[in-house]
């Protein structure tokens, strides 16, 4: 039997070498899993938020270079922001399916997060920690209360221009964040988010809100940015400098009200400037969704058809005339036109929760102070950057009371509550009642605590209502500054600003044990 010789052309199969991972007993798939970005919506959004805060600090850094201010507060804060955010962005990504509890947690706690990072430039500039947190919370919630010039804190004019620009920027960014929450984030939360949107935009067609408003979210911000730029240009035409025009415009459109001067808008002593501010405060307190519809569809007819806008205009006119009648020594020597300008300015400033002033509020007669407090409680339009309870809710409340009285006489009658020819659902009315209870219940508790801490009655009432409504106006002990308040009082008012900005419901939800039980039920996602 002959043995067959192997063919010369045949090749011997090479020995396959083991990979580095196999030779050392390492599973490369395990390593890949460990180093790949994990799904964690909460940490990813926190990282994104702080990263954008770090980017925003570039503007005051440039300002500090122009005005020869210290660079350290901005460079150090930027480094802290990026060291916090970049690792989170590299390690985590947004989950494909986000639970409503996660989104609600991010919305409510994000204000605290940006407040902490936004306060760092103030701390690095020599401000006390509590005061810095108060100023930062007041800025991002567009409240406009300030501790500068009181309680040993240096007056506004003694702070660097870059710090004062950052105050105005915080308000503008906070206003943009409010729009983003109601236009983009809440519709992503499913039924929970839609109920909050419906509560905010009562009387608006919200059936297809997820699809429509997310598609148009950029246009909402275009309106916000366009109004800001337009106001800057108009102020420049009056002779104001670029710095003053920018800081005032950023604070007006956002209805924030922090001014780079201790005497607020009266510093400029110009009726033209005051009326420009009046117009843009009014627009900042007008429903941005309505403004977008008016610009894209029927112009002023869309505004006139809207019941909330009509009520908004009517309340401003009536309240301005009443305040005009009761202004006393504050407007002594003024002409009739100047008095009317002052009364209109203060009413719109209070209603839109801006908080600018052109007259001293410290010596107002009781009836004038009461008018301004009521204006702060009412607030501006829904879907705007204004605070307060919002006008549309008082419209609903009036119609609810009318329907209740009618059903008392006619028990079998069915009386639907309609806003802008759309029926308001019963759950919206229930949510409104809950919001009113939260607002006035929180107000009573905060006023009681402030009075226990030694704050006078008018100061306690005004500072509480101003904080809950994110208005910032001061009377009594806080007429010129909140700096003289005890630290505990400042913390109480910071909570009021936070709760008022988020309209109470979401804040009290995350403070409930039921929320945390649901939120932590899927804790393995974070492990």
Q: What is the mean pLDDT of residues 3-8?
A: 54
Residue 296, CA distances (Å) to 209, 289, 313, 352 in order: 17, 11, 22, 24
27: its two tokens: 């599973």
Checking if the pLDDT of 251 tops 80, the result is yes
Q: Grade residue 406 by pLDDT with cuts at 50, 70 and 90.
A: confident
Between 524 and 52, residue with greater pLDDT: 52
Task: Please answer whether residues 278 and 379 qualify as being in contact, where contact means their C-beta atoms are separated by less than 8 angstroms.
Answer: no
Checking if the pLDDT of 28 tops 60, the result is no
Amino acid 473: pLDDT? 84
Q: Please give the distance of CA 395 from its chain centroid, rounded to a whole number.
A: 23
Residue with tokens 């009509």: 310
Which pLDDT tens digit goes with each residue over 315-344? Answer: 999 999 999 988 876 666 778 888 899 999
Q: Grade residue 212 by pLDDT with cuts at 50, 70 and 90.
A: low
Amino acid 216: pLDDT? 56
Checking if the pLDDT of 193 tops 50, the result is no
Q: What is the mean pLDDT of residues 90-119?
A: 83
Most confident of 198-212, 288-302, 424-438: 424-438
Q: Look up residue 327 and give its DSSP letter.
A: -
Amino acid 292: pLDDT? 78
Task: Please answer whether residues 198 and 428 qualify as being in contact, where contact means their C-beta atoms are separated by less than 8 angstroms.
Answer: yes
Query: Around Cβ 53, how many Cβ atoms within 10 Å?
Result: 23
Please give the Cα distance from 94 to 109 (Å, whole number). 17
Please give the Cα distance from 405 to 403 (Å, whole number). 5
The torsion angle over the Cα atoms of residues 145, 148, 152 and 155, rounded to 10 degrees, is -150
Please give the Cα distance from 374 to 314 (Å, whole number). 15
Checking if the pLDDT of 132 tops 50, the result is yes
Q: Tell me the percentage of the chain whose pLDDT exceeds 90.
A: 41
Checking if the pLDDT of 152 tops 50, the result is yes
Checking if the pLDDT of 182 tops 70, the result is no
**What's the mean per-residue pLDDT of the chain?**
83
Q: Which runs of consecutive H residues, i.e. helices, occur in 125-206? A: 129-140, 161-180, 191-200
Task: Please answer whether residues 145 and 138 qualify as being in contact, where contact means their C-beta atoms are separated by less than 8 angstroms.
Answer: yes
Q: Grade residue 417 by pLDDT with cuts at 50, 70 and 90.
A: confident
Please give the Cα distance from 156 to 346 (Å, whole number). 21
Between 177 and 507, residue with greater pLDDT: 507
Amino acid 464: pLDDT? 94
Checking if the pLDDT of 137 tops 50, the result is yes
Checking if the pLDDT of 419 tops 70, the result is yes
Between 237 and 382, residue with greater pLDDT: 237
Between 327 and 137, residue with greater pLDDT: 137
Please give the Cα distance from 459 to 465 (Å, whole number). 10
Most confident of 107-116, 406-415, 439-448: 439-448
Residue 32, CA distances (Å) to 29, 146, 306 in order: 5, 50, 56
Please give the Cα distance from 468 to 499 (Å, whole number). 7
Q: Tell me the percentage of the chain whose pLDDT exceeds 70.
A: 82
Q: What is the mean pLDDT of residues 237-262?
A: 92
Q: Grade residue 65 by pLDDT with cuts at 50, 70 and 90.
A: very high
Task: Please answer whether residues 339 and 331 qualify as being in contact, where contact means their C-beta atoms are separated by less than 8 angstroms.
Answer: yes
Indicate the pairing of strand 422-423 with strand 418-419: antiparallel
Checking if the pLDDT of 195 tops 90, the result is no
Sign of the four-CA dihedral 339, 345, 351, 355: negative
Amino acid 313: pLDDT? 94
Q: What is the mean pLDDT of residues 391-415?
A: 85
> What single string gives the DSSP state of each residue in 253-271?
HTT----SSTTGGGGG--H
Q: Grade residue 186 by pLDDT with cuts at 50, 70 and 90.
A: low
Amino acid 76: pLDDT? 95
Q: Grade residue 169 by pLDDT with cuts at 50, 70 and 90.
A: very high
Q: Grade residue 113 by pLDDT with cuts at 50, 70 and 90.
A: very high
Checking if the pLDDT of 249 tops 60, the result is yes
Q: Grade residue 502 by pLDDT with cuts at 50, 70 and 90.
A: confident
- Indicate the range of 1-15, 268-282, 366-380, 426-440 predicted with least confidence: 1-15
Amino acid 408: pLDDT? 85
Most confident of 14-23, 36-45, 241-250, 410-419: 241-250
Amino acid 475: pLDDT? 82
Amino acid 191: pLDDT? 44
Amino acid 83: pLDDT? 95
Amino acid 206: pLDDT? 46
Which pLDDT tens digit goes with each residue over 285-310? Answer: 998 878 877 877 766 777 888 888 99
Checking if the pLDDT of 9 tops 80, the result is no
């Amino acid at each position: 039997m002959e043995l067959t010789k192997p063919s010369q052309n045949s090749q011997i199969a090479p020995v396959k070498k083991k990979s580095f991972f196999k030779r050392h007993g390492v599973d490369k798939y395990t390593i890949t899993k460990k180093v790949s970005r994990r799904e964690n919506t909460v940490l990813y959004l926190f990282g994104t938020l702080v990263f954008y805060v770090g980017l925003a600090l570039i503007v005051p850094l440039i300002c500090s270079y122009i005005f020869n201010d210290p660079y350290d507060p901005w460079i150090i804060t930027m480094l802290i922001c990026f060291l916090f955010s970049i690792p989170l962005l590299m390690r985590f990504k947004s989950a494909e399916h986000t639970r409503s509890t996660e989104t609600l947690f991010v919305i409510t706690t994000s204000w605290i997060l940006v407040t902490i990072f936004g306060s760092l430039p103030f701390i690095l500039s020599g401000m006390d920690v509590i005061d810095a947190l108060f100023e930062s919370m007041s800025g991002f919630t567009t409240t406009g209360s300030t501790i500068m010039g009181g309680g040993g804190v240096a007056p506004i004019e003694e702070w660097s221009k870059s710090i004062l620009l950052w105050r105005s920027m915080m308000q503008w960014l906070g206003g943009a964040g409010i729009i983003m929450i109601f236009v983009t984030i809440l519709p992503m939360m499913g039924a929970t988010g839609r109920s909050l949107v419906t509560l905010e935009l009562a009387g608006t067609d919200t059936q297809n809100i997820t699809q429509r408003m997310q598609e148009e979210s950029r246009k909402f911000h275009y309106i916000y940015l366009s109004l800001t730029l337009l106001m800057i240009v108009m102020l420049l035409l009056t002779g104001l400098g670029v710095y003053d025009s920018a800081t005032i415009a950023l604070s007006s459109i956002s209805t924030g009200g922090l001014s780079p001067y201790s005497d607020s808008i009266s510093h400029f002593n110009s009726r033209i400037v005051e009326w420009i501010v009046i117009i843009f405060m009014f627009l900042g307190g007008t429903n941005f969704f309505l403004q977008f519809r008016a610009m894209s569809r029927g112009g002023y007819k869309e505004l006139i058809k809207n019941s909330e806008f009509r009520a908004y205009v009517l309340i401003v006119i009536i309240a301005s005339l009443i305040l005009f009648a009761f202004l006393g020594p504050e407007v002594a020597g003024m002409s009739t036109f100047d008095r009317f300008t002052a009364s209109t300015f203060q009413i719109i400033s209070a209603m839109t929760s801006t908080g600018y002033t052109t007259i001293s509020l410290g010596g107002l007669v009781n009836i004038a102070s009461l008018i301004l407090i009521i204006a702060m409680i009412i607030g501006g339009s829904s879907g705007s950057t204004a605070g307060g309870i919002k006008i549309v809710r008082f419209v609903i409340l009036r119609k609810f009371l009318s329907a209740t009285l009618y059903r008392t006489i006619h028990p079998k009658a069915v009386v639907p509550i309609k806003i802008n020819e759309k029926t308001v659902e019963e759950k919206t009315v229930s949510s409104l009642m809950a919001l009113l209870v939260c607002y006035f219940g929180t107000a009573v508790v905060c006023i009681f605590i402030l009075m226990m801490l030694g704050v006078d009655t008018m100061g306690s009432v005004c500072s509480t209502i101003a904080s809950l409504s994110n208005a910032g106006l001061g009377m009594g002990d806080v007429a010129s500054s909140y700096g003289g308040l005890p630290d505990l009082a400042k913390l109480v008012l910071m909570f009021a600003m936070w709760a008022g900005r988020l309209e109470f419901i979401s804040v009290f939800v995350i403070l409930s044990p039921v929320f945390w039980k649901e939120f932590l039920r899927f804790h393995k996602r974070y492990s």
